[in-house]
Amino acid sequence: MKKTFSLLLLLTIVQVFGQASLEGTVRNANNETVPFASVFLKKTQLGTSCDENGSFKITNIPAGNYSIVASAVGYHKAILQIEIKDGLNTVNFVIKANTQLDEVELFGSRKKRAEKLETLTRLPLAPNEQLQSISVLSHKLIDQQNALTISDVTKNVAGVYTFSTYGNVRESMSLRGYRGVPLLKNGVRINSDFRGIGVLTDMAGVDNIQVLKGISAISQGLGGDLGSAGGVINIVTKTPKFYDGGEVSFRTGSFGRVRPTFDFYGPINEKKTLAFRVAGSYDRADSFRAHVNSERFYINPSLAWKPDDKTTIVLEMDYMDDSRTPDQGTINLGTYDVNNILKLDDDKFVGFDTDRANTLNTTYAVRLDRKISDKLTVKAGLFSSDLETYTEAAYIFQGGGRTQLPVLDNTQRYREYYGAGRTDKNSVFQIDLVGKNVQTGSIKHTFQVGVDYRTTDFTNTPFTTTFPDEDLPYVDIIDVTQPINNTLPGTVSVTEGTSTSGSTTKSYGFTIQDKISFNDWADVFLGIRYTSLERTRGNFIGRSLTGAKRDDAVNPLVGFNLKPTKNIIVFGSYASSSNPMTSFYRDINGNELGTERWDQIETGIKSTWLDNALRFNVTAFYTSSKNLNLQALDTNGTFLGYYLKGGEDTRNGVEVELIGRILPNLEIIGGYSYLDARYKDHVSYYYNSSPINTPKHTANFWARYSFENSLEGLSLAAGAYYLGERPHNVWSRNYTHTGVEPGVKPFNLEAYTTVNLQASYKFNQNFSLDVFGNNVFNALGYNAYRTAFVNRIQPASFGTTLRYRF
């Protein structure tokens, strides 16, 4: 027994002390350590992650020959063959940067500002250094989530939600309780409608999407929209690269979707002073709704020139031709205060087979960057957008209100036919002198001094419809519980009218912003903007104008950043915005009602973690409106020629956001928004009632895990999005609008939660395959614009995307 015990003890000692360990560092080509790099032994379960100093240690390794791998996001893998001997072994890696990975995180590069962020903020600062609350979503996130729409992407930002799709022909987004925030592309408005009715865009050419929350009058001019106090969403297109690369992909899935895309870029000449990029897509799809389909062609070419090491000139164009079937959706069978939305059978469509909405949008940009010195740069840009839309479609309504027609039974609707056209031209020229860390004594300044010139010119073209019965202003009456005829009678015709409406404005702006750094932990922001706006044409929805009208406005911005630690910033700010175009609105006695104005106080914490791989922000805000005015309308909806003092409303809330990488192979996005939006001293709306389509709660979560070792190449992802209940219309005492019943509280649209799942496999550095499902539990939800459009969210759908990168 003693001999046996001694032998077992000896074997145990040999086994324990025969184990080896391995330590070392991972560095890049500049001899800088690479924090949190992954190191593992192939064909084993042994591995670890480097610490913040790029050092690693793996223990309990059986002696033998191994292939050891070091990897990190933004770098090529390095593989070494090594013989592990008993005791301590040492190995050091040098990994090369993968220059094709510009956006290494969900929010973009850790070390660089997002592409074209200065066109939105006008200051050369990273998002967490800016005074405003800014969220950036990179093309890496867009690709990983296989996002197709603005809503698909921006649901990753706390507090952003869809206001309406107006029959799935536009995307109108809301933020902080303000409907229809302005949508920009490369810093210029696409649609200048003051209601922010939105536009369509294609993700194939998008580099990143930037969401600037709250009042942005300093950088973006005046707040002339219903949603401009809520913020702006800037869609940034892809730009040329001075190295070769590209990607082609093919997507297919539910409802007959077919979507090939391409993206090619690289230098044109040997000196690499000229570079190009061209991205594009073709997209065709049906719908869960019968008779509904869409088709789109999109292309995004660009050219960059570096005549010397201090100058860069970029030329860009963006072209989209979209044709789709408008889908008014379904109806509410209940009264104004009861939610009884009919889940219309998928094989029923309330329109006609010939219904069509066409969108043609072209944007152009010319940008110049010229370094004067290491700390001073001149930035200039000319941006323009040309939007044309035309729609011919059916429209159903119940009667009553403005229509002067008898109210039909719950399941019946009048069906009319209409045509509508619009041209919308917007342009911005801006030039800025930008300074970064300019020293005056012991104080540093990061500043911007700039001027801009903005123009908008839109025209709505009316059309007249000839109906089968000249005495009746509709085509027919349908019953949604019975079969619906989708053939447009040949006796219906549409002719173009002559009484166009629209608006032409031009504005000049002068802006100064300065971030004053007194030391390493305290910054003060000061900013002021002067704007002079001239309106030379305007007869849109009763906002008539004779001759020219010029108005001026001054908007300040003041705030602070405090940095108790290197990675945490505590901020606070005050900003205001105004709409001088409203200064000439008069009441029934001819008295001017005053300029509409918004005031905002914002505070919170911005923080970065894990070597800038993870960002966590908390923001609280308070916004109040002054002098909001409403048109005085007759009971049939006719504008009476004067305005009513609308009163005040407030928006208070808290937003929490988390985005980035919490482990080398685990990416995560989380967000929550609480919003308290209420009308206060208001002439038409009930006290403390909520604005249309304003939820108190929204939340989002998404996570993606990439496997290693034997499952290397496989990634799994899951996400959820919650939109709380919200009123489908306004609670009015006397104000009439589409579907509004004065004195009756509107019903709430029900809350819903959608869940998306995804599996991806990367075969090698070039090929990858995604398989995904959206709304996999088939949640039922609706977005609505009053009672005019009640559109069901897309039910469960599935698809796959094959990508080839080179």
The average pLDDT across 428-434 equals 95
| Tokens found for residue 466 | 């000839």
Q: Enter the DSSP assignment of 402.
A: G
Give the pLDDT band of residue 98 (cuts 50, 70, 90): low
Instruction: Give alpha helix (H) positions in 289-426.
Output: none
Mapping DSSP onto H, E and C, the string for 495-545 reads EECCCCEEEEEEEEEEEEEEEEECCCCEEEEEEEEEEEEEEEEEEECCEEC
Kindly state the helix (H) or strand (E) to which residue 39 belongs, with its residue range: strand 38-41
Please report which confidence band the pLDDT of residue 741 belongs to, taking 50, 70 and 90 as the band edges: confident
The answer to which of 348-362, 473-487, 623-637, 771-785 has the lowest mean pLDDT is: 623-637
Q: Is the dihedral of CA 483, 488, 492, 496 positive or negative?
A: positive
Asked if 367 contacts 313 with a C-beta cutoff of 8 angstroms, the reply is yes
Q: Where is pLDDT greater, at 581 or 342?
A: 342
- Cβ within 8 Å of residue 117, ≥6 positions away: 127, 134, 136, 210
Q: Which of 232-236, 259-263, 396-400 has the highest mean pLDDT?
A: 259-263
Joined together, the tokens standing for residue 479 give: 């019953």
Can you say whether residue 665 is alpha, beta or left, with left for phi > 0 and alpha for psi between -120 and 50 degrees? alpha
Query: pLDDT tens digit string along 697-721?
Result: 999 999 999 998 889 899 999 999 9
Exposed/middle/buried for residue 537 (C-beta within 10 Å: 0-12, 13-18, 19+): middle
pLDDT at residue 17, rounded to an integer: 44
**CA-to-CA dists, residue 546 to 538, 543, 549, 588, 644, angstroms:** 8, 10, 8, 18, 20
When the pLDDT of each residue in the chain is averaged and rounded to a whole number, the result is 90
Question: What is the C-alpha separation between 391 and 479, in angstroms, rounded?
Answer: 24
Q: Judge contact between 707 and 698, C-beta under 8 A.
A: no
The number of residues in the chain equals 806
Positive/negative CA dihedral, 680, 682, 687, 692 = negative
State the pLDDT confidence band at 5, using cuts at 50, 70 and 90. very low
Residue 654 has pLDDT above 90, yes or no: yes
Burial class (CB in 10 A: 0-12, 13-18, 19+), 636: exposed
Specify the amino acid at residue 611: D
Q: Look at 223-232, 326-335, 533-542 and tell me which has the smallest mean pLDDT.
A: 533-542
At residue 636 the predicted structure's pLDDT band, cuts being 50, 70 and 90, is low
Confidence of residue 686 (pLDDT cuts 50, 70, 90): very high
Q: Which residue has the higher pLDDT, 14 or 228?
A: 228
Mean pLDDT of 515-538: 90
642 CA to centre of own chain: 37
pLDDT tens-digit readout, 179-206: 999 999 998 889 888 788 899 999 999 9
Position 168 pLDDT exceeds 90: yes
- Burial environment of residue 634 by CB neighbours within 10 A (0 to 12, 13 to 18, 19 or more): exposed
pLDDT at residue 100, as a whole number: 46
Q: Give the pLDDT confidence score for residue 315 in this predicted structure.
A: 97
Under the banding of pLDDT at 50, 70 and 90, the label for residue 597 is confident
Do residues 714 and 688 touch, judged by C-beta distance below 8 A?
no
Helix (H) or strand (E) holding 106: none
pLDDT over threshold 50, residue 232? yes
Tokens representing residue 644 in the block:
């009513």
**Matching residue, tokens 């929350």:** 213
Residue 50 to residue 433: CA distance in whole angstroms: 42
The DSSP bridge pattern shows strands 726-727 and 767-774 to be: unpaired
Q: What is the mean pLDDT of residues 79-102?
A: 81
pLDDT given for residue 538 in this prediction: 64
Cβ proximity of 76 and 93 under 8 Å: no
> 635: pLDDT confidence band, cut at 50, 70 and 90?
low
Q: What percent of the chain has pLDDT over 90?
A: 65
Output the CA–CA distances (angstroms, integers) from residue 31 to 22, 344, 448, in the order listed: 21, 64, 35
Burial class, 718, CB count within 10 angstroms (exposed 0-12 / middle 13-18 / buried 19+): middle
Average pLDDT for residues 547-553, to the nearest whole number? 78
Rounded-to-integer distance, Cα 531 and Cα 551, Å: 8
What is the average per-residue pLDDT within 383-389? Answer: 96
Q: Work out the number of other CB atoms within 10 angstroms of the CB of residue 24.
A: 20
| pLDDT, tens digit, 9 for 90 and up, residues 509-520 | 999 999 999 998
Torsion over CA: 317, 323, 328, 330 (sign): negative
Cα–Cα distance measured from residue 383 to residue 218, given in angstroms and rounded to the nearest whole number: 18
478 or 72, which is more confident: 478
Q: What is the pLDDT of residue 542?
A: 45
All residues at 6 or more sequence positions from 549 whose CB lies less than 8 Å from its CB, including other chains: 534, 535, 538, 581, 584
Top-confidence residue, 742 or 579: 742
Distances (CA, A) of 56 to 16, 61, 66, 158, 615: 21, 14, 17, 37, 25
pLDDT at 637 over 70: no
- Beta strands of 268-375 (E only): which ranges? 274-286, 293-308, 311-324, 356-371
Is the predicted pLDDT of residue 101 greater than 50, yes or no? no
Decide if 50 contacts 36 (C-beta within 8 A).
yes
CA dihedral over 737, 739, 740, 741, signed as positive or negative: positive
What digits encode the pLDDT tens for the residues 44-80? 889 998 888 889 999 989 989 999 999 887 678 889 9
What residues are paired with 608 via a beta bridge? 615
Enter the DSSP assignment of 338. S
Is residue 202 helix, strand or coil? Answer: coil
Handedness of CA 628, 119, 135, 791 (dihedral sign): positive
Residue 174 has pLDDT above 50, yes or no: yes
Give the whole-angstrom CA distance, residue 720 versus residue 700: 6
- Distance of alpha carbon 253 from alpha carbon 284, whole angstroms: 11
pLDDT at 8: 47
Is pLDDT at 7 greater than 80 in this prediction? no
Per-residue pLDDT band for 227 (boundaries 50, 70, 90) equals confident
Average pLDDT over residues 403-408: 86
- The separation between the first and the last C-alpha atoms of the chain, rounded to the nearest angstrom, is 67
